[in-house]
Amino acid sequence: MKEIEIKILEIDEKNIRKILKNKKAKLIKKILQTNIIYSDKDTLEEGITIRLRKEGKKTYFAIKLKKKIVRGHKVRKEYEMEISSFKIAESMLKSLGLKISSYIEIKREYYQLNNCSVEIIKMPQIPFYLEIEGKEKNIEKVAKILGYSKKDYFLGFAPIYYKVGFKDLRFK
């Protein structure tokens, strides 16, 4: 699957929630996620992300290929599936020589608006930010509804931008 997304940093999350409510966006879920990233020399060199994600009682396994910037959007191929056992997946990744390179807790609110996933995100030590994922034209529309334009887009990784590191980001 192709992932197309943008981020907008340092949002006023209360105002975003208000706009989403006024536009009748559907709240899908609010969740605390634990993202554990595995890597080795090759995955780092190739820009490949291998992730196990815990969401409540569910666990997801994902592989994301190297990102490209296309017309001001971050684009990358992503393969994700729900798995039944975190422990087995962890053992499999370790048996391939992969090591944990990052442990990040994230609070996310998922909304659906104009065929886009709109996510209000909070990470430890980082101000609230927004992620909009969908087709390019829909991302543009949703960003505009929320009061943003391409000049506001951020296509990087928030912990690097804020220089907080990302080896171990946990809520206290």
What is the per-residue pLDDT across 107-150, written as a single tens digit (0 to 9) for each?
Answer: 999 999 999 999 999 999 999 999 999 999 999 999 999 999 99
Range 2-166 classified under CATH 3.30.70.2860: no
Q: Supply the pLDDT for residue 165.
A: 84
Q: Map out the domains of the chain as residue ranges.
A: 2-166
What is the per-residue pLDDT across 49-103, written as a single tens digit (0 to 9) for each?
Answer: 999 999 999 999 999 999 999 999 999 999 999 999 999 999 999 999 999 999 9
Compute the average pLDDT of residues 20-43.
Answer: 97
Q: Supply the pLDDT for residue 22.
A: 98
pTM score of the predicted model: 0.92
Q: Supply the pLDDT for residue 146.
A: 98
Distances (CA, A) of 54 to 18, 43, 84, 90, 101: 29, 21, 11, 12, 16
Q: Give CA–CA dist 131/9, Å, rounded.
A: 9
- ∠ CA 135-137-143 to the nearest 5 degrees? 95
Q: Is 125 left (phi over 0), alpha (psi -120 to 50) or beta?
A: left
